[in-house]
Amino acid sequence: MASAKVALAYDVWQDIRRHLFTYALMLVVVASAFSVIYFTHLNRQTTSSLESLLTERDELDIEWRNLLLEQNSLAEHSTIETKAAKLLNMKRPSAESEVIIKLP
């Protein structure tokens, strides 16, 4: 009985040695498949991150354009003059109230 077990173990070892290249090749194929899965996952995560960053960039660009438009509209002379008249009760001086100073 013991010699049958030893013979069986020896036969299994011989079979493993005979097909060692096949087992190694199968292990390489499985490792390659898992690496393809992993890098595909990384690619999808990176693409998703890129899309969200591009969306954020577009939103910031739109906000920047709106701020430029607001700045330009607030810097117009008519807007400044209207706000000065309404908020500060300012008005244009008349020709009679102007004083011209001449330097020697």
- How far is residue 90's CA from residue 75's CA, in Å, rounded to a whole number? 18
Do 61 and 69 meet the contact criterion of CB atoms below 8 Å apart?
Answer: no
Residue 1 banded pLDDT, cuts 50, 70, 90:
low
How confident is the model at residue 24, as a pLDDT? Answer: 94
- How far is residue 51's CA from residue 55's CA, in Å, rounded to a whole number? 6
Please indicate, yes or no, whether the overall pTM of this predicted structure exceeds 0.85: no
Taking CA atoms, 20 is separated from 6, 34, 84, in Å, by: 21, 21, 91
Q: Which run of H or E residues covers position 26? A: helix 20-74
Which has the higher per-residue pLDDT, 1 or 42? Answer: 42
Q: Which amino acid is at 12?
A: V
Which has the higher per-residue pLDDT, 47 or 10? Answer: 47
- How far is residue 68's CA from residue 71's CA, in Å, rounded to a whole number? 5
Instruction: Give pLDDT tens digits for 12-62.
Output: 889 889 999 999 999 999 999 999 999 999 999 999 999 999 999 999 999
